[in-house]
Amino acid sequence: MQLINSQMQVLVFDKKGKFISKLDKKGKGPDEYSLLGPVFISDDEKYIEVIDLLGDKSHLFKYSNIEFDLIDRKDFSAPSANSCRKGNDNIYYFSTQQIDNSIKGEITNADIVMVENSKIKKALFEKRIITNNMTFSPTSETFTKNKKNELFVSLMYNNTFFKLSNKNAYPILTVDFGEYSINNSIGLKSTSDQEKYLEKDTEGLASFPILNANDSNVLAFSYYFKENLKNNLHQYIKLKKSKKVFHTKEIVNDITSFPNNVFISSYFYAVNHEVLYQDFLVDIVLPWYHLKEEEIKVKEIGEIKINDNPIILLMKLKE
């Protein structure tokens, strides 16, 4: 499924890229949403859930797949967040990070806010910082799931990755950048102080590791490293069976002549997706980002235009 924010639609394609159906119900009716938020697909793919993202006045819609008939609609308390996932425990985990939210009348900048039975129930990694309504995040996706449906999260200003389960966070892995690590305690300062520090004092330092995949056969995370005043994305991939490790900022595409490089990242250019699909690594390629001309012809793919829809690249894992 592909979410198009500007059109407020969910488009459904088959595995060969053929268009099948779409959810297009923006409006004021009883089965319609005003602002299409996070979308969740049931494990059996028989229905989808959509959050009509209106803060305390939000709603949770349940539609059949693929006819998109309304099955259920209920009130839903949705915190402000930059990403959201549903756990095995039927709890919705919102990655709120530095964003101001109110829980039981108290303002918080907790990293994770949980919603259970449509109500905000608990916050994890509580903190209160001065934002003056100004916030930022280095990534657009902080969650990932594996084949066991286990849910993991990466936190801003924290080099430890966590597994989320039963309303708690359990540490699973810490990335040690040693002398190249930024001062993560800056995360408790105001967002204004944070931006000044990140702009002036992080040259030659690594920051913001994000767990992109953690399955039985692969571990992958990405992070930023600042060189010559530019934050470059670096990627770490470990194949667990062979114990092979790839640590690089550039992965060359040797399958086709387009694109030149691929990115094993769940948030590159704000295209949020799982890095693993079955036994494939996944990259979603944006033609406008890679093309320097209006259109090209690629032998293995065909004609590609700069305004084309994203291209899904599946790469077979080799141990």
Per-residue pLDDT reduced to its tens digit, 205-221: 999 999 999 999 999 99
- Rounded Cα distance between 182 and 224, Å, is 11
What is the per-residue pLDDT for 1?
44
**Per-residue pLDDT at 234:** 97
Place of tokens 């998109």: 68
pLDDT attached to residue 257: 86
pLDDT at 43 over 50: yes
| Bond from prior residue into 138 cis (ω within 30 degrees of 0) | no
Residue 270 clears pLDDT 90, i.e. is over it: no
Residue 251 has pLDDT above 60, yes or no: yes
User: Is residue 144 located within the same domain as residue 256?
Assistant: yes
Confidence of residue 16 (pLDDT cuts 50, 70, 90): confident
Same structural domain for residues 72 and 144?
no
The reported pLDDT for the residue numbered 310 is: 87
Share of the chain above pLDDT 70, in %: 98
Q: Judge if 302 and 157 occupy the same domain.
A: yes
Extended beta strands in 16-175, E state = 19-23, 36-41, 47-52, 58-64, 70-76, 83-86, 92-95, 101-103, 106-108, 112-116, 119-124, 143-145, 151-154, 160-165, 168-174
Helix or strand or coil: residue 188? helix
Q: What is the pLDDT of residues 272-303, one digit of tens each?
A: 999 999 889 999 999 999 998 999 999 888 89
167 and 270 in a single domain? The answer is: yes
Is residue 103 assigned to a domain?
Answer: no
- 305 and 211 in a common domain: yes
- pLDDT tens digits, 147-194: 999 999 999 999 999 999 999 999 999 999 999 999 999 999 999 999
Give domain status of residue 87, yes or no: no
In the chain, the number of structural domains is: 2
| Whether 183 and 270 share a structural domain | yes
Tell me whether residue 208 is in a domain. Answer: yes
Q: Would 163 be classed as within a structural domain?
A: yes
Burial of 174 (0-12, 13-18, 19+ CB in 10 A): exposed
Q: What's the average model confidence in pLDDT over 110-123? A: 95
Q: Residues 301, 199: one domain? A: yes
Based on the domain organization, do 258 and 139 belong to the same domain? yes
Residue after which a domain boundary falls, among 56, 78, 100: 78
The reported pLDDT for the residue numbered 56 is 85
pLDDT of 239: 92
Residue that finishes a domain, picked among 78, 103, 120: 78
Same domain, 213 and 299: yes
Specify the amino acid at residue 220: A
Q: What confidence tier does 55 reach under pLDDT thresholds 50, 70, 90?
A: confident
Q: Are 36 and 53 in contact (CB under 8 A)?
A: yes
| Contact (CB, 8 A) for 211 and 274 | no
Q: Is residue 280 in a domain?
A: yes
Residues 153 and 42 in one domain: no
Amino acid identity of residue 127, one-letter, is K
Do 68 and 171 sit in the same domain of this protein? no
Does some domain include residue 98?
no
**What pLDDT, on the 0 to 100 scale, is given for residue 319?**
62
Yes or no: say if 156 and 97 are a contact pair by the CB < 8 Å rule: yes
Looking at residue 318, what is its pLDDT? 73
In a domain, 126, yes or no: no
In a domain, 120, yes or no: no
Which residues constitute the domain of residue 68?
1-78
Q: Which of 78, 109, 142 is the last residue of a domain?
A: 78
- Please determine, for residue 2, whether its predicted confidence score (pLDDT) is greater than 50: no
Q: How far apart are CA 133 and CA 135, in angstroms?
A: 7
Query: Do both 172 and 71 map to the same domain?
Result: no
**Gyration radius (Cα) of the chain, Å:** 20
